[in-house]
């Protein structure tokens, strides 16, 4: 079967580990172009339950310093190697976009659906970054769920991190990994 270009892009998507992402990152115009595609997600109630926080330059290192301190506060016994990992997490890729889910509690659109929309944004941003020649990876880890990190990033009531999307120029060709076989995942419902 002929594979249309849109499916070729979907089929070619793969993450580039953030450690392998370097300069250059996207400039303002390129990032906005990516975001233009990323915001085009299914959105029940058109709530726009997401926003973006850009982390670049020295702000990445400052966040790393905060994370290292916070990691020790959370666990004073944390092994130094782990703390160093947290310190440098945001220092590899030139740009990290924190995709913030803005969840309206008690809305007739269930919270799950609002969160799913924010998840779609992360995915679309990965696709857009790759389509424009960049590598990207969607990461979370404990810092996506820590209330003090949320505060430092300026998140408000009802806001949470859907993902940190690290974006930069890939320094390696990432090998393909095994992908699920859709045939094994598909069943027919019979009444």
Binding site for ligand FMN (CB under 6 A): 14-15, 137-141, 163
Residue 116 CA to residue 88 CA, distance in Å, equals 29
DSSP assignments along 58-101, one per residue: HHHHHHHHHHHHHHHHH-TT--HHHHHHHHHGGGSSSEEEEEEE
Q: Phi and psi of 161, rounded to 5°?
A: -80, 120
Closer by beta carbon to ligand FMN, 12 or else 62:
12
Is 166 buried (19+), middle (13-18) or exposed (0-12) by CB count in 10 A? buried
CB of 133 to ligand FMN, least distance (A): 17
CB of 177 to ligand FMN, least distance (A): 6
Closer by beta carbon to ligand FMN, 147 or else 188:
147
Nearest one of 73, 71, 31 to 165, comparing CA atoms: 31
CB of 101 to ligand FMN, least distance (A): 11
Token pair recorded at residue 62: 């400052």
Closer by beta carbon to ligand FMN, 66 or else 89:
89
CB of 3 to ligand FMN, least distance (A): 19
Closer by beta carbon to ligand FMN, 9 or else 27:
9
Give the number of other CB atoms < 10 A from CB of residue 73: 11
Nearest residue relative to ligand FMN (C-beta)? 15
Closer by beta carbon to ligand FMN, 180 or else 191:
180
CB of 89 to ligand FMN, least distance (A): 9
């Amino acid at each position: 079967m002929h594979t249309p270009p849109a499916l070729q892009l979907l089929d070619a998507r793969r993450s580039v580990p953030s450690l392998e992402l370097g300069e250059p990152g996207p400039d303002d115009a390129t990032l906005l172009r990516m975001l233009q595609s990323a915001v085009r997600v299914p959105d029940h109630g058109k709530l726009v339950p997401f926003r973006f926080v850009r982390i670049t330059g020295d702000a990445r290192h400052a966040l790393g310093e905060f994370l290292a301190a916070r990691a020790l506060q959370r666990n004073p016994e944390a092994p130094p190697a782990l703390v160093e990992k947290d310190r440098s997490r945001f220092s590899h890729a030139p740009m990290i976009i924190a995709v913030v889910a803005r969840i309206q509690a008690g809305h007739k659109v269930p919270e799950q659906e609002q969160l799913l929309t924010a998840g779609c944004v992360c995915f679309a941003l990965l696709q857009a970054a790759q389509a424009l020649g960049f590598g990207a990876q969607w990461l979370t880890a404990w810092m996506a769920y820590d209330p003090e990190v949320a505060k430092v990033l300026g998140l408000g009531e009802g806001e949470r991190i859907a993902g940190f999307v690290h974006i930069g120029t890939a320094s390696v060709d990432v090998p393909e990994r095994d992908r699920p076989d859709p045939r094994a995942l598909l069943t027919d419902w019979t009444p």
